Structure 1
């Protein structure tokens, strides 16, 4: 009786275990049979394109014309007609000097000129009389006529030399005035009335005044060597200055040096800035924004597609489901694109979008 009860219990447990296995095993097998999803390798099609970017470079505004005016002769300042900030016009008298010795030289040259004019008038008249008389046969010998002609020519040569000497002294006296060579503003004045001045290094260490043109300025930019081929004459450039926050000025590239500065490895580029309202001033520092047109012979690739490793710079081309490295030379970059150049690159070919140096030649994707 007791044994029968135990056997029944064992049979019940066996049936329960079999039911549990029958419910669980198919489910586990079903889960194991589900396929594993492999990560998808993103690709892109390579194509030609121009990458249009812009660079920002510091620049400096300078006067289009600027000159330090010195006295041409030694003398004392007699009159100062201008001061710092004076706007002047071409030919306007700025400073007058005095040098008594120059006045004496001019008076002496003038007196000598008048004296020789009188001598020449006399010798010329004598020659004319002798020549006229010689026309009567037997009155005056041919030798006397030649002597009178020689005297006349000699006196004329001396008169001509005196005229040249007088013009020279007159020109030197003109040096006692300093006039403006062009329209502009006096930016510096270094002497006062009565000061002794003269040519640079011979009486004056500093110029009498400095004149700068303000209505026409130069914007001087040092363009790095890598951007030399991307700019050209007449390109429009925008710039700003700290004196006018938020205001944008524009100018066109007018001149370029064509050679690289040996220290900066940059090319000097100049732009003409017309400043009729005198808002801008020479010496201002500007921030220039230059738009750069890309090279249409290059290719555009996603930035992550270009691998820069110890083996070199390359992109990964997909050919028949396999990966192959293609060496490239990088150009300019934006946040998402990179210019690439290479002889093995093909327009319309498929390349890996997110490449890495762990991907080797011949690997399948």
Structure 2
């Protein structure tokens, strides 16, 4: 009996263990089957691809300069007699800013007047002689044709001398007019470099610095250099906003009036000018401004939510749903603004794209559960 007990006990234990493992595996298989049946694939948010345009801007520094600026010099050698304006004076077109004196010009003018009067007398005499000879020649045989021709030639010569005397007199008179410095346009005197009694002239000491610097400040130019990448978005009459830091970032407006039409070789940028009204003279020439250049494209491109663009190690893609499968479409991106991005690639209007692209959505994977937004 003892030996039989030793033989049957191991067999019975093995049978019990085998039955337990079988029951556990059967139960686990059922539970696994139930679990897989309860898992559902979350829906994919998709949208229909459409063309659109982005309205954005870039911030570029610019400089305010006077709409017109001129340095006023003396035309003739002279001395300052009287200064009528000073720094900060507002002047109008034609206003006398300074008067100068040059005694030698007055002497030259007197001499020119004398020569002019003398030449007038000579011309009147030769003209009278010719007129008398002409009248007498109407009686046959009284005056030879040669004498008449000589008298006519003398009259023409004296007339030419009279014209030369008039020109010389006018030249000296114009030089005397240069003794008055007048404002060429309305503006403000921003610099004065001489005082009464100072020598000024077109050359030599006294001509290194201008007598005055005049600026027109009720209208300013805002000069900006726009990088090459953004030149295609610019056009004449575009409205531009800008701020000036020294004026607590107060907003100002202007309009693009002039485009250079060529790129600077060193900076690779285009020079543009914006006209700015400044009637109250709040802005000053020389101020630095932060200019918002609008980037409004004339053409429409495909615009998608920025989340729809997948940046992976393989490249940049959007995920398209086609024939109930996902497809990674390689694209290049353009501008981005306010959660929107321009994309360029093998796309067609009306394509269905996934709103939130990620690498978890595999290429060529089933896409049976989609949700159109």
| TM-score after normalising by structure 2 | 0.82
Could you report, residue by residue, the CA deviation over 1:305-362 in whole angstroms, capped at 9, with x for unpaired residues? 32445654332323224343333232110242211122x1111212233435687653
2:122 to 90, 107, 119: 119
Find out whether 1:76 has 2:79 as its counterpart.
yes
DSSP 3-state at the match of 2:138? coil
Relative to 1, partners in 2 of residues 1:303 and 1:29: Cα closer, same or farther, differing over 3 Å?
A: same
Compute the RMSD of aligned alpha carbons.
3.1
Q: Distance in 1 between matches of 2:81 and 2:360?
A: 85
1:186 aligned residue? 189
1:242 aligned residue? 245
| Alpha-carbon contact 1:51-1:295 (below 8 Å) kept | no
1:305 to 298, 305, 308: 308
2:296 to 293, 296, 317: 293
| Alpha-carbon contact 1:240-1:248 (below 8 Å) kept | yes
Q: Distance in 2 between matches of 1:311 and 1:165?
A: 85
Deviation, structure 1 residue 26? 5.7
| Alpha-carbon contact 1:70-1:200 (below 8 Å) kept | no
More divergent stretch after superposition (183-192 vs 294-303): 294-303
More divergent stretch after superposition (141-150 vs 308-317): 308-317
Relative to 1, partners in 2 of residues 1:39 and 1:263: Cα closer, same or farther, differing over 3 Å?
A: farther
Relative to 1, partners in 2 of residues 1:50 and 1:158: Cα closer, same or farther, differing over 3 Å?
A: same
Could you report, residue by residue, the CA deviation over 1:45-83 in whole angstroms, capped at 9, with x for unpaired residues? 322111122222222211111111111222222221111
2:258 to 246, 255, 258: 255
1:165 aligned residue? 168
Q: Distance in 1 between matches of 2:139 and 2:164?
A: 36
DSSP 3-state at the match of 2:143? coil
Q: Distance in 2 between matches of 1:26 and 1:84?
A: 102
| Alpha-carbon contact 1:90-1:182 (below 8 Å) kept | yes
2:35 aligned residue? 34
1:91 to 73, 90, 94: 94
Relative to 1, partners in 2 of residues 1:205 and 1:311: Cα closer, same or farther, differing over 3 Å?
A: farther
1:349 aligned residue? 351
Q: Distance in 2 between matches of 1:68 and 1:172?
A: 19
Relative to 1, partners in 2 of residues 1:313 and 1:275: Cα closer, same or farther, differing over 3 Å?
A: same
| Alpha-carbon contact 2:59-2:293 (below 8 Å) kept | yes
| TM-score after normalising by structure 1 | 0.84
Deviation, structure 1 residue 142? 2.5
Q: Which has the higher strand share?
A: 2
2:9 aligned residue? none
Deviation, structure 1 residue 32? 6.5
Relative to 1, partners in 2 of residues 1:295 and 1:244: Cα closer, same or farther, differing over 3 Å?
A: same
Q: Distance in 2 between matches of 1:26 and 1:364?
A: 31
